[in-house]
Amino acid sequence: MASAPTSKYNSHSLENESIKRTSRDGVNRDVGETLPRLPGEIRITDKEVIYICPFNGPIKGRVYITNYRLYLRSLETIFQLGPLGYLILNLSFGETMDSALILDVPLGVISRIEKMGGATSRGENSYGLDITCKDLRNLRFALKQEGHSRRDMFEILTRYAFPLAHSLPIFAFLNEEKFNVDGWTVYNPVEEYRRQGLPNHHWRITFINKCYKLCDTYPALLVVPYRASDEDLRRVATFRSRNRIPVLSWIHPENKTVIVRCSQPLVGMGGKRNKEDERYLDVIRETNRQVNKLTIYDARPNVNAVANKATGGGYESDDVYHNAELFFLDIHNIHVMRESLKKVKDIVYPNVEESHWLSSLESTHWLEHIKLVLTGAIQVADRVSSGKSSVVVHCSDGWDRTAQLTSLAMLMLDSFYRSIEGFEILVQKEWISFGHKFASRIGHGDKNHADADRSPIFLQFIDCVWQMSKQFPTAFEFNERFLITILDHLYSCRFGTFLYNCESAREKQKVTERTVSLWSLINSNKDKFKNPFYTKEINRVLYPVASMRHLELWVNYYIRWNPRIKQQQPNPVEQRYMELLALRDEYIKRLDELQLANSAKLSDPSASPSSPSQMMPHVQTHF
């Protein structure tokens, strides 16, 4: 594998931030060094450009392009008007030493690269490149018009930002970082189901999908009713979209009701029936003798579910599935969510229009969609927690809205998933293993920015988690930085965690052998991602308030690129609390050392104290 000599580098602390200070960027630089590099990262080219900063205007700088990132360092000091009109050094942009502006953008974040202006363009800085990013920002660079100066930069950026279109490997396969923790060992399905008390008398583990022949988008290991044979499963698969049969996601430890996930039934316009499918859902209901009905939550709006009949899909009608009750949750499809996020970007980047902020935010409908997803998950969690019935969740194919609902409901019900490793397991299980189409929804290494399959479904899930963490500030072991880091590396292509659409594709590409896991980065430095206010509670169910009055836009994520929006990073209360905890640990350690030293003196007859007051040394503290 080709590699270049790497700079001194601390792989545990590099943050995927676009604009940063030297003291926080996690890179150990020698004097005069200008480009941080990961092990396996190769410098391709560099060029002098004008960065058209939307906040400070044109800035002269030098841009470096590697096979992983675009890195710009300004060649001049950055100034801007402060809130009172004074000319100030822009420390939110600059480095602590020389106030140089730094842009550090993983190429995986880039969605689109366009040429700006032509050879005959007139006007200052009208000729260059316009780069659209997946994380709600744009970058514009002006270049000299002489000699087609932008051609090389355009071709190199296009080649390495969209490697799949040029038969090149995604950077994750070139990354040679080493961590002291292997993130690929975090999730073991057998251990996770065993933690839930499975298998038991009613549920069994099956390896019918070991070679992904039953369903190529499901994991190899599935949990199904004990009374359903493998032949029954094959028959049911013929009546479920993409063969995604109903399988167990979670079981309540006390009342034994379950959350089951699947795809829509293939009813079609003719109202087709499948006796095996009807019987199979009845068997799921009968795994808990205390309930008379099985509750089916269809994530779609009713009208969409009906419309899907025209393409062979549909839903479980009450007159066919006699012991089930069906509810529609009115969550819109991937196309609606994609357009909603585009509207969010329009109002937050580059400028925030203060005078019409509330009406502009309302017009995006983003928080309405967050509300509907949370409301649906609350209904699932409440039905299971109360023991009223077991629940089946599906949308159309069972890999978008279904994953949102099951994972959020499990987060509400099971405190284990609110720990750092528990949340990693939840993501690995309900999203990665069960076939959320990350490659299609994010477009890793793909140049087709207008692909109709692109959609921010996973971002929406993380947003919902953030909303819950705001309402329950002591319930989650992880902090906001943890969630933002996950989203940053959803796009970065630095790790193999979110690559490809399903487990079978990852196995074929040997992702766990050839790439590094994101959880390796996080778990090797957990303290950075811990919530200092976390209080571990067992069996506490969280019911967030899914009201528009209690939901808010996640400013520290969606508007983080705007230096004029005041961000408190880290939270001053949280920072002070962390300092006090560190001080406490320091004094406890010091006390232990003194007590150990005192014990040694007591056991030594030649060093016996002359008075009782000498037996315990005095420890002075700030408290």
What distance separates the 2 farthest-apart alpha carbons in the chain? 98
**Active-site residue identified among 262, 395, 464, 502:** 395
Distance of CA 480 to CAs 88, 197, 568, Å?
29, 31, 12
Residue 395 known to be catalytic: yes
- Cβ pair 130, 114 in contact under 8 A: yes
Q: How many CB atoms lie within 10 A of CB 58?
A: 13
Closest among 250, 581, 223 to 422, alpha carbons compared: 250
- Cβ pair 92, 101 in contact under 8 A: no
Residue type, 474: T
SS3 letters across 304-332: HHHHHHHHCCCCCCCCCCCCEEEEECCCC
- Cβ pair 389, 291 in contact under 8 A: yes
Token pair in block for residue 584: 């406490």
For residue 61, the 8-state DSSP code is: E
Provide the 3-class DSSP secondary structure of residue 404: helix
At residue 73, φ and ψ (nearest 5 deg) are -125, 125
Token pair in block for residue 418: 């609110």
Euclidean distance between CA atoms 366 and 192, whole angstroms: 33
Q: How many CB atoms lie within 10 A of CB 450?
A: 8
Euclidean distance between CA atoms 471 and 542, whole angstroms: 10
H/E element holding 131? strand 128-133
Provide the 3-class DSSP secondary structure of residue 265: strand
Helix axes 366-385, 401-413, angle to 10 degrees: 50
Token pair in block for residue 534: 């976390």
What pairing do the DSSP bridges indicate for beta strands 391-394 and 294-298?
Answer: parallel
Euclidean distance between CA atoms 71 and 217, whole angstroms: 37
Euclidean distance between CA atoms 593 and 379, whole angstroms: 53
Token pair in block for residue 195: 């933690």
Which residues are marked as active site? 395
